[in-house]
Amino acid sequence: MTSPVMDIATRVVRWQAAHGRHHLPWQQTRDPYRVWLSEIMLQQTQVSTVLDYYPRFLQRFPDVAALAAAPLDDVLALWSGLGYYSRARNLHRCAQQVVAVHGGVFPATAEVLATLPGIGRSTAGAIAAFCFSQRVPILDANVRRVLTRVLAFGEDLAAARNERLLWAHAQDLLPMDDLDDAMPRYTQGLMDLGAGWCLPRKPRCGLCPLDDVCAARRAGDPEKYPVRTRKLRRSAQSWWLLLRRNAAGAIWLERRPMTGIWAGLYCPPVFDSAAALAWAEGRPGVRHLPAFLHVLTHMDLHLHPVLVPGDADTPPAQGGWYGPADWPALGLPAPVRKLLKGL
């Protein structure tokens, strides 16, 4: 009789072959560069969005050497709109390290991959499973949800020891045979189930290949899992954006600090109160543009743009005048890019 562990792996592999996703461009290759690029882009980003960015990135940076040799500004400019810009900076650092330390060849094991900038344990596992069929687990948000429900794993994942225990269970569930085919299919199958069937709310249990071996389903409470008591604390900030526009239509932009919100990107000077811009009131042509909300993962950012014509009193901080022809090549936060286009 097939053991429950083997039964789960076999079911996922067979289901993925028959019903899983096979059309995504990064599924048509075992090139670690392309798989790595897709995995980084897909972190906290919808597939539909990545489908637009992925081919453009490959056209501009067709291999890891091209990405490593590119200026960071070029990478940030192409990344603009994807959000979580630390991913782009780590992407660039990782490419440079692959070239400098590994001779331009991605390591073939999850253990070494996880030492590279921006590659955590789950991303390393995905690259190793997809490209090298290594028998290693992944635990992204979708897979974590699938496995905690199948196992009715009710331990609080806010505790590191429980996270380690779930990793051990994930390792035990991996396929044992025909790893060259089974590991990519099993890994993709868990991703597919989490993305389209084992949903956070109203999971489609009746259509899941693990329906009759899922402990949470049998108990009637799959939405109880995963358990994590420590929630992300949201906050709010208000920023006033000084839009200095000269007679040629250029805007004064500065590079943000390399830490914090929009790190390393170009942005108009930022102030934390309207009072800080009191000097501009009464000047000819000053306009307070409509304020708008930009939602980040951990924060609501209330943005108040103020347009001030003239190039006198250039702000003392490092920056420069950039016209509309320059903006496409700059790493600009998505709301700033949209704001500039609307001027």
pLDDT tens figures, 34-93: 999 999 999 988 999 999 999 999 999 999 999 999 999 999 999 988 888 999 999 999
Residues whose CB falls within 8 Å of the CB of residue 47, separated by 6 or more in sequence, listed in order: 24, 195
* pLDDT score, position 83: 87
Torsion of CA 79, 129, 162, 43, to 10 degrees: 10
- Calpha distance 258→15 (Å, rounded): 45
Residue 162 has what pLDDT?
A: 96
Burial 251-269 (b: 16+ CB within 10 A, else e): bbbbbbeeeebbebbbbbb
Q: Per the structure block, which two tokens stand in for 252?
A: 């004064």
pLDDT of residue 22: 93
Write down the pLDDT at residue 278.
85
d(CA 80, CA 162): 36
Residues in contact with 206: Cβ distance below 8 Å, sequence separation at least 6, in sequence order = none
Q: What is the pLDDT of residue 284?
A: 85
Instruction: Give the CA angle between residues 64, 43, 206 to the nearest 5°.
Output: 130
d(CA 343, CA 338): 9
Residue 7: predicted pLDDT = 85
User: What is residue 259's predicted lDDT score, i.e. its pLDDT?
Assistant: 87
- What pLDDT does 280 receive? 81
Three-state SS annotation for 161-193: HHHHHHHHHHHHCCCCCCHHHHHHHHHHHHHHH
Residues 6+ apart with CB under 8 A from 61: 67, 70, 75
Positions in the chain short of pLDDT 50: 1-6
Query: In the chain, what is the greatest distance between 2 CA atoms, to the nearest angstrom?
Result: 84
For the annotated catalytic residues, the residue numbers are 39
Check residue 290 and give its pLDDT.
95
